[in-house]
């Protein structure tokens, strides 16, 4: 759509406007027709992940610029399809939205205590990026390959509990 490879598009239209300074992309060698090209795998340090989440929290705005389209941010608040049932990674299909996940929609207790407007992206090695508009909260977690002390849902639940007013 942009005429640019995935990595160059992300750098030009997301990373540069957000002041993101450090990243890496995984590349595939490809065949003769496709050559070396970026995959969907991306690595960002916690500071840079937090910048993306903060931009999403602010409805796609960074300072005075609309960096991420507002319609995209709005649509991530609900599933992008009518599919029900567990489909992939042991997660229910209704918890997926435009590459983000809706952790409050997870069943079996996994989504308990997480606000309905929370969005997150769990990653390899228990990395986590999340934002919760109702709590004005952004979360970025880097744990390495150990998987961390607790699951992504529990990490987000504990962060939400920490900022909720006590009753």
The 10s digit of each residue's pLDDT in 123-155 is: 777 789 999 999 999 999 987 655 556 688 999
60 pLDDT band, cuts 50/70/90, is very high
Does the pLDDT of residue 159 top 80, yes or no? yes
Domain ranges of the chain: 44-163
Per-residue confidence band for 92, with pLDDT thresholds at 50, 70 and 90:
confident
pLDDT score at 6: 83
- What does the pLDDT average to over 90-118? 87
Per cent of the chain over pLDDT 90 is 50
The DSSP result for the chain, as a single string, is --SS-HHHHHIIIIIHHHT----EEEEE---TTT-SEEEEEEE--HHHHHHHHHHHHTTTEETTEE-S-HHHHHHTTS-SS---SEEETTEEGGGEETTEE-GGG-TTTTTTTS-TT-EEEE-GGG-EEEEEGGGTEEEEE--GGG--SS-HHHHHHHHHHHHSPP-
Tell me, what's the pLDDT at 149? 62
pLDDT bin (cut points 50, 70, 90) of residue 57 is very high
Rounded to an integer, the average pLDDT of 43-53 is: 94
Higher pLDDT, 69 or 127: 69
For the chain, give the mean pLDDT: 87
């Amino acid at each position: 759509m942009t005429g640019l490879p995935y990595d160059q598009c992300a750098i030009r239209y997301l990373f540069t406007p957000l002041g993101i300074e450090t990243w890496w992309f995984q590349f595939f060698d490809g065949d003769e027709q496709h050559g070396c090209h970026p995959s969907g795998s991306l690595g960002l340090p916690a500071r840079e992940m937090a910048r993306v989440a903060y931009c999403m929290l602010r409805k796609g705005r960074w300072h005075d610029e609309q960096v991420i389209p507002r319609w995209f941010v709005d649509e991530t608040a609900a599933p992008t399809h009518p599919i029900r049932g567990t489909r992939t990674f042991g997660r229910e299909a209704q918890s997926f939205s435009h590459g983000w996940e809706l952790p409050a929609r997870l069943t079996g207790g996994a989504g308990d205590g997480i606000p309905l407007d929370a969005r997150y992206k769990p990653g390899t090695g228990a990395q986590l990026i999340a934002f919760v508009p109702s709590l004005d909260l952004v979360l970025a977690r880097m744990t390495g390959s150990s998987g961390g002390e607790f699951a992504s849902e529990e990490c987000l639940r504990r962060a939400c509990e920490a900022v909720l007013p006590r009753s």
